[in-house]
C-alpha cells in the first residue's frame, strides 16, 4: 500500500504555559483527505494542540511540518502557513465592523491580491455552499449564532485552505443551531477536505471521522478508527471519558 | 404562515403602553431650565456686583476694534483674531504630531521589541512626570538652538510631545480593548501585522479612542495658551499685550476665554457628530 506524504506531521511537540505543561510529546500524522476528530476532557490540551498548528500558540519543543514546510519563528513563514490553514473558532470571531461579504473577501484580497470582483464571486460561491448567500450584505451581529458560524466556515474556505481546523465549533451555539453547522461540516468532509476537529459532538465524530484522537493531560492517549475507539477503548481514561460523555445519549 | 411572519404579527398586536406626560412632575424639563436660568443670573449678578464694588469701569465698546476693524469697506483682523489664527495653526500642527507620536508610542509599548518598549516607557514617564512649563523652557532654550527651530515650532513640538504621552495611553487602551479573538481571527486568515492593524484592529478601536482623544485635543487647544510665555503671538499673548496697553483686564480676558470656549465646544460637537456616523450595525 502506498502512503501519500502526510499533510501535517507533528513530532514530539511540547508546549508549556509557565511551568504548566499543556502539551507533551505530541506525535501525529494527518494524511491528505483525512478527517480527524480530537476529543478529551476539558483542559486536556485539544485546543492548544490545534492552535499550535497555525501558530496562535507557539510550541516550544518538537516540530510541526505542514505540507512539507516546517513551522518556524520566521514571520513570513508563519504567514505562509496560516494562509494554507483554515481556522474556525468556538466564538466565530467574525469582524463586527465588516459586512459578511467583506469578512470573506478581506483575506484573499490582502494576502493574494485577488481582484475585488473575483474575491466577491468566490465569497458568494462559498456563502451559497453554507446556505446563507442571501445574508451577504448584512453585518455579523444581524445573524444568528449558527449563521455566524457558517459565515466563519465560509471565511476560512475562501482562503482555499489545505487543512481546516475546527476548535469546538458548536460549543457556543444554541441547541437548535447546531445541526445546520454540523451539516455544513459533514458536507465539507464528504468533499475530501482534510479536517481536524475538536468537538464534543460524538454523533458527528461517528459519522465523519476516519481517525479519533483522545487526549488527556496534554498527551495523546489513544489514536484509532472510530469503531474501535467507541466500541472498544483501550485505556481506562478513554473508557471513563466515554462513559461520562455518552451517559445521557 | 411561517414562524417568522407569525411572530411579526404577534409583535404588531402588542403595543407599548402610552407614555405619561412629565411636564408638570418633578422630572419636568421646565423645572430644569428654570434652575439653570437662576444659576446663570446669579453668576452674572455676582460678577457685576464684584466689579462695581471695586469701581471697575466697564468699557465693552472698546473691545470690538481688537477683534476686527472695517476700514474703507475692507475687513481687517484685529490682534485677538490674528492671535486666534496662530493658536489654530499651533493646534493643527501639534495635533497631527500628537496623533502620530501617540500611535507610534502605543505600538512600541505593545510591541515585542524590548528596546521599543523601553524607549516608549522612558518617554512616557519623563514627559508625564515633569511640568509642562519646564518642558517648554527646555524645548525653547535648549532644543530650539540645537535644532535651529524658531519659537513657534519649539512650542508646537513641546505641546505635541506633551499631549502625545497621554494620547499614547489612550490609543493603547483602545487597541487593548479590541477582543483577543479579533487579533486571532486576523492572524488565522494570514494577514500580516500591518493589514491586521489597518483593517481589523484600528477600525474597531477608533470608536473607543475617539471620545477620550477629543478630550485630549481640547486640552491641547487650552494648553497652547502656555506658549505665550515664550512670546509666540497667539491668542493669549495678544490678550496680555492688549491689557498692558488698555488696562481692560475683565473685558479682554472674558473675550479671550469666550473665543477658546467657542473653538473647544464646536470641536466637541463636531466629534460627537462624527461618532454618530461611525456606528456600525450593532
Whether A126 and A104 have beta carbons less than 8 Å apart is answered as: yes
Q: How far is A218 from chain B (nearest CA, A)?
A: 22
Non-local CB neighbours of A22 within 8 Å, separated by 6+ positions: A15, A16, A45, A48, A218
Contacts 24+ apart (CB under 8 A), A58-61: A58/A15, A59/A13, A59/A14, A59/A15, A59/A23, A60/A14, A60/A15, A60/A16, A61/A12, A61/A13, A61/A14, A61/A15
pTM for this one? Answer: 0.83
CB contact under 8 A, B199 and A110: yes
Instruction: Spell out which residues of chain A touch residue B280, defining contact as CB-CB under 8 Å.
Output: 96-97, 139
Measured between CB atoms, which of B185, B195, B199 is closest to A93?
B185
Instruction: Spell out which residues of chain A touch residue B201, defining contact as CB-CB under 8 Å.
Output: none
Measured between CB atoms, which of A56, A97, A138 is closest to B184?
A56
Single out the residue of B55, B59, B93, B104 nearest to residue B251, CA to CA.
B59
DSSP assignment string, B106-166 = HHHHHSS-HHHHHHHHHHHHHHHTS-HHHHHHIIIIIIHHHHT--HHHHHHHHHHHHHHHH
pLDDT digits (tens, 9 = 90+) for B56-69: 888 888 888 889 88
pLDDT digits (tens, 9 = 90+) for B21-45: 766 666 777 888 898 999 999 999 9
Residue A2: the pLDDT is: 47
Inter-CA distances, B189 with A59, A79, A112, A215, Å? 20, 9, 11, 27
CB contact under 8 A, B281 and A159: no
Non-local CB neighbours of A119 within 8 Å, separated by 6+ positions: A104, A105, A108, A109, A158
Residue B58: the pLDDT is: 85
Angle between the B202-223 and B151-176 helix axes, to the nearest 10 degrees? 150
Measured between CB atoms, which of A79, A89, A97 is closest to B192?
A79
C-alpha A236/C-alpha B272 separation (Å) is 63
Measured between CB atoms, which of B190, B192, B280 is closest to A97?
B280
Residue A245: the pLDDT is: 83
Residue A1: the pLDDT is: 43
C-alpha B36/C-alpha B94 separation (Å) is 36
> Measured between CB atoms, does A144 come within 8 Å of chain B?
no
Residue of A nearest to B195 (CA): A110
CB contact under 8 A, A97 and B203: yes
Instruction: Spell out which residues of chain B touch residue A54, defining contact as CB-CB under 8 Å.
Output: 187-188
CB contact under 8 A, A159 and B185: no
**Confidence grade of residue B154 (pLDDT, cut at 50, 70, 90):** very high
> Measured between CB atoms, does A159 come within 8 Å of chain B?
yes
Angle between the B202-223 and B79-110 helix axes, to the nearest 10 degrees? 140
Instruction: Spell out which residues of chain B touch residue A103, defining contact as CB-CB under 8 Å.
Output: none
CB contact under 8 A, B282 and A94: no
Mean pLDDT within B160-180: 96
| pLDDT value at B18 more than 90 | no
Q: How far is A196 from chain B (nearest CA, A)?
A: 15
| pLDDT value at B91 more than 60 | yes
C-alpha B24/C-alpha B30 separation (Å) is 8
* DSSP 3-state of A140: helix
Whether A11 and A62 have beta carbons less than 8 Å apart is answered as: yes
Q: Enter the DSSP assignment of A137.
A: T
Domains and CATH numbers, chain B: 79-274 (1.10.3720.10)
Extract the residue ranges of chain A whose pLDDT is less than 70. Answer: 1-3, 248-249
Q: How far is B150 from chain A (nearest CA, A)?
A: 44
> Measured between CB atoms, does A150 come within 8 Å of chain B?
no
> Measured between CB atoms, does A96 come within 8 Å of chain B?
yes
| pLDDT value at B199 more than 60 | yes
Q: Enter the DSSP assignment of A25.
A: E
Classify residue B210 by burial, with Cβ atoms within 10 Å: 0-12, 13-18, 19+. Answer: middle
Single out the residue of A39, A68, A7, A34 nearest to residue A193, CA to CA.
A34
Q: How far is A79 from chain B (nearest CA, A)?
A: 5
C-alpha A189/C-alpha A180 separation (Å) is 15
Instruction: Spell out which residues of chain A touch residue B174, defining contact as CB-CB under 8 Å.
Output: none
CA torsion angle for B149, B155, B161, B163 (degrees, to 10)? -160
Among B189, B194, B280, pick the best mutation site for testing chain A contact (most A Cβ within 10 A): B189
The sign of the torsion formed by the CA atoms of B126, B132, B137, B140 equals positive
Beta strand segments in chain A, E: 8-17, 20-30, 35-39, 61-66, 69-70, 85-88, 163-167, 195-198, 211-216, 219-224
Write down the residue that cell numbers 511640568 correspond to: B131
Instruction: Spell out which residues of chain A touch residue B111, defining contact as CB-CB under 8 Å.
Output: none
Among A66, A93, A172, pick the best mutation site for testing chain B contact (most B Cβ within 10 A): A93
Single out the residue of A154, A168, A157, A152 nearest to residue A50, CA to CA.
A168
> Measured between CB atoms, does A46 come within 8 Å of chain B?
no
CB pairs under 8 A between A and B: 69
| Backbone torsions φ then ψ of A221, nearest 5 degrees | -95, -40
Residue B238, number of CB atoms within 10 A of its CB: 23
Whether A162 and A84 have beta carbons less than 8 Å apart is answered as: yes
Residue A246: the pLDDT is: 77
C-alpha B88/C-alpha A104 separation (Å) is 43
Whether A51 and A167 have beta carbons less than 8 Å apart is answered as: yes
Q: How far is B181 from chain A (nearest CA, A)?
A: 6
Amino acid at each position: 500500500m502506498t502512503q501519500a506524504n502526510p499533510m501535517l506531521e507533528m513530532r514530539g511537540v511540547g508546549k508549556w504555559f509557565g511551568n504548566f505543561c499543556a502539551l507533551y510529546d505530541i506525535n501525529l500524522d494527518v494524511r491528505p483527505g483525512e478527517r480527524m476528530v480530537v476529543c478529551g476532557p476539558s483542559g486536556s490540551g485539544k485546543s492548544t494542540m490545534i492552535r499550535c498548528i497555525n501558530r496562535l500558540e507557539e510550541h516550544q519543543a518538537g516540530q510541526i511540518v505542514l505540507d512539507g514546510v516546517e513551522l518556524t519563528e520566521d514571520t513570513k513563514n508563519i504567514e505562509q502557513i496560516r494562509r494554507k490553514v483554515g481556522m474556525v473558532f468556538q466564538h466565530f470571531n467574525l469582524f463586527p465592523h465588516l459586512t459578511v461579504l467583506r469578512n470573506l473577501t478581506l483575506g484573499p484580497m490582502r494576502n493574494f491580491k485577488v481582484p475585488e470582483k473575483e474575491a466577491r464571486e468566490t465569497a458568494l460561491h462559498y456563502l451559497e455552499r453554507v446556505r446563507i448567500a442571501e445574508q451577504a450584505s448584512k453585518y455579523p451581529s444581524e445573524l444568528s449564532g449558527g449563521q455566524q458560524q457558517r459565515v466563519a466556515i465560509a471565511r476560512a474556505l475562501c482562503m482555499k485552505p489545505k487543512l481546516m481546523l475546527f476548535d469546538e465549533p458548536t460549543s457556543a451555539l444554541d441547541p437548535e443551531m447546531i445541526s445546520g453547522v454540523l451539516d455544513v461540516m459533514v458536507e465539507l468532509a464528504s468533499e475530501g477536505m482534510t479536517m481536524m476537529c475538536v468537538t464534543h459532538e460524538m454523533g458527528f465524530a461517528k459519522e465523519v471521522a476516519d481517525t479519533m484522537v483522545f487526549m488527556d493531560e496534554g498527551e495523546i492517549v489513544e489514536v484509532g478508527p472510530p469503531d474501535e475507539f467507541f466500541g472498544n477503548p483501550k485505556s481506562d481514561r478513554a473508557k471513563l471519558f466515554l462513559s461520562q460523555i455518552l451517559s445521557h445519549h | 404562515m411561517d414562524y417568522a411572519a407569525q411572530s411579526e404579527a404577534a409583535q404588531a398586536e402588542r403595543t407599548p403602553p402610552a407614555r405619561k406626560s412629565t411636564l408638570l412632575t418633578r422630572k419636568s424639563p421646565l423645572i430644569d431650565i428654570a434652575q439653570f436660568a437662576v444659576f446663570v443670573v446669579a453668576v452674572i449678578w455676582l460678577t457685576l456686583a464684584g466689579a462695581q464694588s471695586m469701581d471697575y469701569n466697564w468699557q465693552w465698546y472698546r473691545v470690538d476694534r481688537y477683534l476686527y476693524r472695517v476700514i474703507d469697506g475692507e475687513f481687517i483682523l484685529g490682534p485677538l483674531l490674528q492671535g486666534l489664527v496662530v493658536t489654530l495653526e499651533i493646534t493643527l500642527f501639534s495635533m497631527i504630531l500628537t496623533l502620530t507620536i501617540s500611535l507610534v508610542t502605543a505600538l512600541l509599548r505593545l510591541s515585542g521589541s524590548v528596546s521599543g518598549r523601553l524607549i516608549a516607557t522612558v518617554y512616557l514617564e519623563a514627559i508625564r512626570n515633569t511640568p509642562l512649563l519646564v518642558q517648554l523652557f527646555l524645548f525653547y532654550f535648549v532644543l530650539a538652538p540645537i535644532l535651529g527651530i524658531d519659537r513657534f515650532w519649539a512650542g508646537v513640538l513641546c505641546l505635541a510631545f506633551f499631549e502625545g504621552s497621554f494620547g499614547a495611553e489612550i490609543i493603547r487602551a483602545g487597541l487593548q480593548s479590541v477582543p483577543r479573538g479579533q487579533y486571532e481571527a486576523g492572524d488565522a486568515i494570514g494577514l500580516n501585522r500591518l493589514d491586521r492593524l489597518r483593517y481589523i484592529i484600528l477600525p474597531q478601536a477608533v470608536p473607543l479612542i475617539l471620545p477620550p482623544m477629543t478630550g485630549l485635543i481640547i486640552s491641547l487647544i487650552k494648553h497652547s495658551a502656555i506658549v505665550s510665555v515664550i512670546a509666540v503671538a497667539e491668542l493669549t499673548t495678544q490678550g496680555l499685550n492688549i491689557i498692558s496697553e488698555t488696562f481692560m483686564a475683565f473685558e479682554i480676558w472674558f473675550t479671550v476665554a469666550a473665543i477658546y470656549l467657542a473653538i473647544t465646544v464646536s470641536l466637541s460637537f463636531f466629534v460627537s457628530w462624527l461618532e454618530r456616523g461611525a456606528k456600525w450595525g450593532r
